[in-house]
Every structure is written in C-alpha cells, then in structure tokens.
C-alpha cells in the first residue's frame, strides 16, 4: 500500500502524529501533572499564586472588579506582555459584563495583536481551562513568557519498521519535550468562592 498509494502516506501519518503531539503538549502545559509530561500552570505544585474572589462577589461567579484586582496582584515588572487565559464559556460571561457606569468591559481592538481586550490586556481562549464553578480557577493572568518555559529537546520523529509485524508496517512516533513554571510570581489564578 505504501508503494502503490497516490499520496505520500508516510508524510500524511507524520502530519497527523505531529498534530496529535501538539494537542497533548498544549494540554500538559495547562493541566499536566509533571509525570512523563510537562508540569501544567493549573497544577497546585506549579506554585502560581491564587487570588480569591472578593467577599462582596456572590458565590459561584466572579465580577469585573475581581478581574481587575487579579491583574494588579501581578508585580508591575511582569505587567508588560500580560494576557488573560480563559475558556469560551468564561469569555462569554466576561463579554456580557459591564462596569459601574454600564460600559462593557470587553473592548474590541482592531489595531491590537489580539481581537479582544479585557482590562487593556489580550484574552487568550483555551477550552482546557475549567468552567466557572465554586472552587475552580477559570481565569489566569500573567506574563506567560516569564512564567513558563517549554524545552523542545527533540521534535516529533518517525521510525518505519517493516519487519516486526509480519506483512504490516509499524510506524513509531516519538518526541522529547519538557516544560515547567519557572517564575510563578509572574502570573495569578482566580479562584471562585
């Protein structure tokens, strides 16, 4: 089949495997436990400080004031390049919030590098972030270049083994990538009461 195929099957498999590795690495960067995969930013062992919602905020939700307070808990030297991370459901809640004067806190910035700004900072949507619920940390803010380091020791490689499986070809894919929080003080997580 490999020799008679009209397309390059090996390249197609490699592309699919590379995309699968990227999905798994992205997941590990966010929620990984550090055992055989990178340590995730939501893992308590990563050490990113947690900011609680205010006592005046109703239980199970957050307010725009909580988002502002969380941002300014990050030291000033890490504010440049800071961005919020949340999932699409949380972003939907944010985009319907308004400040004390009734103005929406979500601002579309067509000249900015990100399509949405929150409190003057870009919003990155990542559906691996948890939904808003009591005890969850659905919103993160930080300078992620300073907070997290990914080490790509060896990219995705493929080994074609036509001998081990009789009449079948085995394809073995491998990658060696690590990552961890290197500066937890450059970010904050918002926990819902």
Domain spans of the chain, in order of start = 9-191
Pairing of strands 121-125, 83-86: parallel
**Tokens 């905020």 appear where?**
57
Burial of 179 (0-12, 13-18, 19+ CB in 10 A): buried
Pairing of strands 148-165, 168-181: antiparallel
Residue 50, φ and ψ in degrees, nearest 5: -110, 135
Find out whether 91 and 54 touch, Cβ atoms under 8 Å.
Answer: no
pLDDT per residue, tens digit, the chain (193 aa), is 556 667 777 788 888 888 998 888 889 999 999 888 889 999 999 999 999 999 999 999 999 889 999 999 999 999 999 999 999 999 999 888 887 788 776 666 556 555 678 888 889 999 999 999 999 999 999 999 999 999 888 888 888 888 887 778 788 888 888 889 999 999 999 999 9
pTM, two decimal places: 0.81
Q: Which residues contact 153 (CB under 8 A, 6 or more apart)?
A: 176, 177, 178
In this structure, what DSSP letter does residue 193 have?
A: -
Task: Report DSSP letters for 117-178, one per residue.
Answer: EETTEEEEE-TTSPPS-TT---EEEE-HHHHEEEEEEEEEEEEEEEEEETTEEEEEEEEEEE
């Amino acid at each position: 089949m490999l020799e008679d195929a009209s397309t390059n099957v090996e390249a197609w498999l490699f592309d699919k495997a590379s995309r699968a590795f990227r999905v798994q690495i992205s997941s590990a960067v966010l929620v990984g436990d550090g055992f055989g995969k990178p340590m995730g930013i939501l893992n308590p062992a990563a050490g990113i400080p947690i900011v609680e919602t205010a006592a005046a905020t109703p239980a199970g939700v957050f307010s725009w004031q909580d988002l502002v307070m969380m941002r300014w808990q990050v030291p000033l030297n890490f504010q440049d390049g800071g961005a919020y991370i949340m999932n699409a459901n949380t972003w939907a809640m944010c985009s319907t919030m308004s400040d004390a004067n009734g103005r929406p806190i979500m601002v579309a910035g067509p000249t900015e590098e990100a399509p949405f700004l929150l409190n003057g900072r870009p919003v990155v949507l990542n559906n691996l972030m948890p939904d808003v619920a009591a005890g969850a940390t659905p919103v993160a803010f930080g300078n992620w270049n300073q907070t997290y380091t990914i080490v790509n020791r060896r990219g995705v490689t493929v080994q074609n083994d036509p001998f081990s499986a009789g009449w079948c070809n085995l394809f073995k894919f491998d990658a060696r990538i690590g990552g961890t929080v290197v500066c937890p003080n450059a970010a904050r997580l918002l926990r819902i009461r």
